[in-house]
Amino acid sequence: MAPTTGQRLLQDPEVPATNREPEAAGRGGRTRGVLLWLTTLVLYASFVGLGISTALLGPTFQDLARNVNRNISDLSIIFVGRASGFLCGTMVGGVLLDYMNQFLLLGVSMSATAVGFYLIPLCKKAFLLIIMMSVFGASIGVVDTGANVLILDLWGDKGAPHMQALHFSFALGAFLAPLLAKLAWGTTASAQNHTESDFDPLMLNRSSEAATDSVFAVPDDMNLLWAYASIGTYILVVSVFLFGLFCKKRSRQKKTAASAQEVRRAKYHRALLCLLFLFFFFYVGAEITYGSYVFSFATTHVGMEESEAAGLNSIFWGTFAACRGLAIFFATCLQPGTMIVVSNIGSLASSFFLVLFDKSPLCLWIASSVYGASMATTFPSGISWIEQYTTLTGKSTAFFVIGAALGEMAIPAVIGILQGHYPDLPVVLYTCLCSAIFTAVLFPVMYKLATLPLKHQRKGRRKSEEEKALSSINGNMQRNGMECILK
């Protein structure tokens, strides 16, 4: 029996294939299976760390601003720095993934993330903190792209549940981040209940006068240091496991050559990637826009209390995370394309009712929960779906991840400007509805492009197999005829 995709990735290429076959059903096969699952669990752990590190900036933003003697508004550029670093890391990582060992690249990136987490709370200069955040964004961009590619390489056509589990790990990490930052380590008395008006520049200058010449120094709030250091240690441990996997199996180039015959490439490969770029651009943009503006929309447009609006925001992200967890089990019995269609229908219906009953609090609660659940599975299902028709490399994966990142940056910014110009209109809801319509129309076009080439390829393969069979039959008949003549 031929080895699976994950076994081909993890098996030792130095051992001849004839010596491997007797071991496949015995100890060798069990060892490869254990190594396959160990690698998958390490990738899950890396995405938990990715979610924690990405979401940790929010609950610790005020503490970091105080640490570098800046107001919150003056330091908001660190979000731009992190996003820019993420885009650069995604592009560079997509190229490097095709030319170097994936485990080594992910290990180096996770190590850089860990070092950044050790240094961020020690930064006493705003420019240095921005630089550290940019480097941090680049490293998580590499990890985001590389882990998606590795899951597909490991599990191949069986990778849909594992892709859902990988992105659920990110949601789990994002859920744990504020708990670890504020509940596990707590906050000091001086760090509690501060607003931007509390950050008086003269007071900040006096508090940091002794450290004006210091680039790195221990922060006054030791809980900030312990929060970042503990999470950095976790990420460092994960990087050690990735380096261990690199030492175990170093032969990425030989694996690629051995499995080159397994590569699928659709006739409209580039067109599919461009359409997937647009698909993720609008999908992720709508997701982040609704999650970012639903609180302010509920308070200003619907007239909810802030506590109710906060609960509404929580129900959106709560159903989002819960359905990503449930999608692990759904992906074992449903095709990725089916899950995308169901998600598109749910997001289209919920956003339509949001626009239709934009003043109704009850509709806002119900539709927000349905919208969050519908948006949960689209991204990992999209990656698994495209892999069924055309093989994804590091560059191609980086391409549509960049589309998602650009949507996350551009659409919320544009909607914020439009909402300011048209405060009486539910611009956020219109955006969600338009994005749902666009993705619902775009996916059938993508499906048509993806399936038509495969049918032609299958016909070509059948013809070639029939030709080979006929040639072998003719060869046998000729040999039998020669034998009869000789006799």
pLDDT of the residue at 344? 94
Closest CA to 138 of 164, 109, 177: 109
pLDDT of the residue at 27? 61
Residue with tokens 């005829």: 481
- Tens digit of pLDDT at every position of the chain (487 positions): 444 445 445 554 444 444 445 544 456 667 777 888 889 999 999 999 888 888 787 777 778 888 888 876 677 678 778 888 888 888 888 888 888 888 999 999 999 999 988 998 888 888 888 888 889 889 988 998 889 888 888 887 788 888 889 989 988 888 887 777 765 555 443 334 444 444 444 444 444 444 456 777 777 777 888 888 889 999 999 999 999 888 876 544 444 444 444 567 777 888 889 999 999 999 988 988 888 788 888 888 888 887 788 788 778 888 888 898 899 898 888 899 999 999 999 999 999 999 998 888 899 999 999 999 999 899 999 988 988 888 888 888 888 888 988 888 888 888 888 888 888 888 889 999 999 999 999 999 999 888 875 544 444 444 444 455 445 555 555 555 545 544 4
Q: Specify whether the backbone of 123 is left (phi greater than 0), alpha (psi in -120 to 50) or beta.
A: beta
**With the C-alpha atoms ordered 82, 84, 90, 95, is the resulting torsion angle positive or negative?**
negative
In whole angstroms, what is the distance from residue 257 CA to residue 264 CA?
Answer: 14
pLDDT of the residue at 312? 83
Measured between its terminal Cα atoms, the distance across the chain in Å is 40
**DSSP state letters, 314-337:** HHHHHHHHHHHHHHHHHTTTS-HH
Q: What is the DSSP letter of 42?
A: H
pLDDT of the residue at 4? 47
In whole angstroms, what is the distance from residue 400 CA to residue 269 CA?
Answer: 13
Residues in the chain: 487
Q: Please state, as a whole number, how many other Cβ atoms lie within 10 Å of the Cβ of residue 459.
A: 10
Q: Which two tokens stand for residue 132?
A: 């550290």
Helix, coil or strand: residue 220: coil
In whole angstroms, what is the distance from residue 259 CA to residue 328 CA?
Answer: 27
pLDDT of the residue at 70? 80
Q: Are 7 and 158 in contact (CB under 8 A)?
A: no
Evaluate if pTM is beyond 0.95.
no
